[in-house]
């Protein structure tokens, strides 16, 4: 019966099973993440950032999209070690946008140097 109710619910298109979490304490462990996020449903995977660029962020992958939505609704703004979590739905189009932009800039600079062109920003 519970599954039948869930089947009739329409979720916004940005909702998915993968949550992107920002503003985490740098020293947080995977076990602590499971304690916080595991209350909302079965978790398939948690990836905590460990490089200088990704510290303070994590990806949480739930088994069920409804559990992810529930966690996002309840944990966005949750206080962990005096830091308020920012919990968003992962959007692959946004994630690769910066790398695509950087790649295009590099290609443009290579073309400029190949053909001897310069712009005011290159001088």
The C-alpha angle 27, 77, 13, rounded to 5 degrees, equals: 110
Instruction: Give the C-alpha separation, 68 to 15, whole Å.
Output: 8
- Predicted confidence at residue 97, as pLDDT, reads 61
- Predicted confidence at residue 66, as pLDDT, reads 93
Q: Domain residues of the chain, as ranges? A: 18-93
- Predicted confidence at residue 119, as pLDDT, reads 67
- Predicted confidence at residue 109, as pLDDT, reads 85
55 Cβ contact list (under 8 Å, min separation 6): 26, 49
- Predicted confidence at residue 12, as pLDDT, reads 74
Model-level pTM? 0.69
- Predicted confidence at residue 113, as pLDDT, reads 83
Q: 18-93 is classed in which CATH architecture?
A: 2-Layer Sandwich (3.30)
- Predicted confidence at residue 99, as pLDDT, reads 65
Instruction: Give the C-alpha separation, 69 to 19, whole Å.
Output: 9
Q: Split the chain (123 residues) into runs of 10 and give each run's mean pLDDT.
A: 58 85 92 95 94 92 94 94 93 67 82 77 54
80 Cβ contact list (under 8 Å, min separation 6): 24, 25, 28, 36
Cβ(60)–Cβ(90) under 8 Å? no
- Predicted confidence at residue 80, as pLDDT, reads 92
């Amino acid at each position: 019966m519970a599954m039948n109710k869930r089947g009739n619910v329409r979720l916004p298109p940005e909702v998915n099973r993968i949550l992107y979490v920002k503003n985490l304490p740098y020293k947080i462990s995977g076990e602590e993440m499971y304690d916080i996020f595991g209350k909302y449903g079965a978790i398939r995977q948690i990836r905590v950032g460990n490089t200088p660029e990704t510290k303070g962020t994590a990806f949480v992958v739930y088994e069920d999209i409804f559990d992810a939505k529930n966690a996002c609704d309840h944990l966005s703004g949750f206080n962990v070690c005096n830091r308020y979590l920012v919990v968003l739905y992962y959007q692959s189009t946004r994630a690769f946008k910066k790398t695509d932009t950087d790649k295009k800039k590099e290609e443009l600079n290579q073309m400029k140097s190949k053909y001897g062109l310069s712009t005011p920003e290159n001088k």
